[in-house]
Structure 1
Amino acid sequence: MTDVSVDFLRAVFLGVLQGLTEFLPISSSAHLAIVPQILRWEDPGAAYTAVIQIGTELAVLLYFWRDIWAIGSGWVRGLFSAAAREAHEWHLGWFVIVGSMPIVLLGIALKDVIEQDFRSLWIIGTTLVVLGVVLGIADRVGRASRTIDDLTWRDAVLLGLAQAAALVPGVSRSGATISMARFLGYERAAATRYAFLLAIPAVVGAGLFELQEIPGGSNAYGVMPTIVGTVVAFGVGLAVIHWLLKYVSTHSFLPFVLYRIGLGGLTLGLLASGYLVA
C-alpha cells in the first residue's frame, strides 16, 4: 500500500473518530491526539484537527438551520426595529456573540501555546478525568428546570467562559458548556442544544483560520486526505447530533462521565508505563 493510500485511510478513520466524538462531551481533540499515538501513527497536527472540525460544524449548520435562520434574521431585524428587539431571537443572537468572544480572543492570543504546550498527553489525560468528574457533579446537582428561553446575560458570559476552557485539549467544548449549563439549572436537552449553537462561530472560525497552514508541516496528511476526512466527519457528525439530542432527553450523562475517566486514566497509565510519549 502506498503512502498516499495510507494517508487517505488514516484520514477517513480520523474523520469517523471526529464525527463520533465532536458532539459527545468526551473531547474530539483528545481522541485525535491519543488514538494516533496508541496506533503508532504520526500526530495529525493542530491544523488538521481544526479543519476537520469544519465538517462536523457543517453538520450543525444543516441540522440547526431553522434555529440559525431564526436567530440570525431576528438579530438583523433588531438592528433596525425597536419592536424586534423585544423578541427572544434578538437576545439569543447577542448571547451567542458575547458567548463566542472569550474563546475567540483567547484562541488568537494563545495560539502557539495551544498548538504546542497544551497538546501534552499528560494535560489531556488529566483534563479528561477532571472534567469528567465536573460533568458528573454538574449533571447530578443541576435542577434541570430552565430552557434556552431562560438565558440571561450573566449566563451567556459564564457559558462563554466555560466554552473557552476547551482551548485545552481534553476539556471538550460541549462538555464544558453543558457542565456550566447544568450547574446553572438548564435541562439536559437545552444545555446540549445551546452548546451546539454556541460552538458554531468558534469552531468554524478556528477551522478557517487554520486553512492557511494545511499545505505546510502542521498537517500530517496533506490537502486531499484532509478534505476526505472532513466530508466523512460531516456525515458521521450529522447522525451523532440526531442521536444525542434524543438520548439526553431521557438519559443522564453518566456513561460519558465514566468513559472520560476511563480514557483519561488509561492515557495517564500508558504515559507512566512509557508506551505513550507526552
Structure 2
Amino acid sequence: MDLLQAFLLGIIQGLTEFLPVSSSGHLEIGHALLGVKGHNNLLFAVVVHGATVLSTLVVFRKDILDLFKGLLAFKWNQETKYVSFLLLSAIPVLILGLLFKEKIESLFTGNIVFVGSMLLITACLLGFTYFAKSREKSIGWLDALLIGIAQAMAVVPGISRSGSTIATGLLLGKKREDMARFSFLMVLIPIIGANFLDLVGGEMSAADSIGVLPLAVGFIAAFISGLLACKWMIKIVKQGKLIYFAAYCLIIGLIAIFAG
C-alpha cells in the first residue's frame, strides 16, 4: 500500500464511517478499485476506524465529559443510565466478535458483489425511515438492545453501522437528534475494544508489511474527514434526509454487483 492509496482509503473511511453508506463496504470497494490486496486489509481498517473514534471524541467531547462527571457522582442518575444503555448496546457486537471473529474476518476479501448486495440491504433500511413517524420517545433498555443488535449486524461489509443503528432507532420512534448522538457514542466501546484486543493479540505486528507511514497517513486522513462528516451527519439526521443516502447505496450497490 503506497501513500496515495492510504490517503484515499483514509478519506473514504472518515467520510463513510459517519455517513450511512457503510465504511467497511466502501473500504472493500476502495481496495478493489485501487488494487490494494492482501491479508492485512483488516489491519488498515482497524487503524482508520481508530481515527474515526478520535473524531467522535472531539465532536462529542462535551457530552462525553458530562457523562464522566455523572459517573463520578457514584449514584444512579441520567448520565449513569445513559452509559448503561451504551454498554448494553455493545453486548451483541461483543458476542458476535468473540464467537465469530474468524468468520467475520473472512468477509473482508474484496468480494464487491457481496458488498454490493449488502449495500442494497442498507438502502432498504434507510428507505424505511422515510415512512417512519417520530414519536419523540426517549431511548430505553429494550431500544438500546435492539439498536445494539443492529450495530452487530453491521460487522458485515456493506451494512452501514450508522445507517442501521439510526434507522432502527427512528423506526422505534426515537428522536432524530437523540439517535444521532447515541449512534455515534455507542460505537466508541466496540471499536476501542477491538483495537485493544488486536494490539494485545499481536495483530499490529502486521504493520511491518503495510508500512507505518501509510498507516499514519490513512489515520490522519480518516480523522480529518471524519470530523467533517460527523458534524454533517448530525445535521442530516435532524433534517430527515436519509432517503438520499438510500438512493446512493442502491446505485453503488447495483454498480458493485454488475461490476463484480
Query: Would you say same fold, with TM above 0.5?
Result: yes
Which one of 116, 119, 124 corresponds to residue 128 of structure 1?
A: 119
Which one of 7, 32, 37 corresponds to residue 27 of structure 2?
A: 32
Q: Choose 1 or 2 for highest CA Rg.
A: 1
Is the contact between residue 24 and residue 45 of structure 2 (CA under 8 Å) also seen in structure 1?
yes
Cα deviation, residue 160, structure 1: 0.8
Partners of 2:102 and 2:34 lie apart in 1 by: 26
Give me the identity figure in percent: 33
Number of equivalent positions: 256
Q: Which residue of 1 aligns with 2:4?
A: 9
Cα deviation, residue 14, structure 1: 0.9
User: Does structure 1 residue 143 correspond to structure 2 residue 133?
Assistant: yes
Relative to structure 1, the CA distance from residue 165 to residue 233 in structure 2 (aligned partners, 3 Å threshold; closer, same or farther) is same
What amino acid does structure 2 have at the position aligned with 1:221? I
Which one of 13, 32, 37 corresponds to residue 18 of structure 1?
A: 13
**Consecutive aligned runs of 4 or more in structure 1 exceeding 3 Å deviation:** 117-120
Is the contact between residue 5 and residue 34 of structure 2 (CA under 8 Å) also seen in structure 1?
no
Deviation digits for residues 54-95 of structure 1, max 9, x if unmatched? Answer: 1111010111111112223313423xx3xxx1x211110100
User: Does structure 1 residue 155 correspond to structure 2 residue 146?
Assistant: no
- List alignment gaps of at least 5 residues for structure 2: none
User: Does structure 1 residue 207 correspond to structure 2 residue 207?
Assistant: no
Cα deviation, residue 263, structure 1: 0.8
Which one of 248, 251, 260 corresponds to residue 259 of structure 1?
A: 248
User: Does structure 1 residue 94 correspond to structure 2 residue 89?
Assistant: no
Partners of 1:32 and 1:233 lie apart in 2 by: 12
User: Does structure 1 residue 54 correspond to structure 2 residue 54?
Assistant: no
- List alignment gaps of at least 5 residues for structure 1: 1-5, 272-278
Relative to structure 1, the CA distance from residue 220 to residue 240 in structure 2 (aligned partners, 3 Å threshold; closer, same or farther) is farther
What amino acid does structure 2 have at the position aligned with 1:157? L
Cα deviation, residue 146, structure 1: 2.1
TM-score, normalised to structure 2, is 0.91
Relative to structure 1, the CA distance from residue 240 to residue 220 in structure 2 (aligned partners, 3 Å threshold; closer, same or farther) is farther
Q: How well do the aligned residues superpose, as a CA RMSD in angstroms?
A: 1.9
Is the contact between residue 54 and residue 204 of structure 1 (CA under 8 Å) also seen in structure 2?
yes
Is the contact between residue 45 and residue 220 of structure 1 (CA under 8 Å) also seen in structure 2?
no
Is the contact between residue 11 and residue 221 of structure 1 (CA under 8 Å) also seen in structure 2?
no
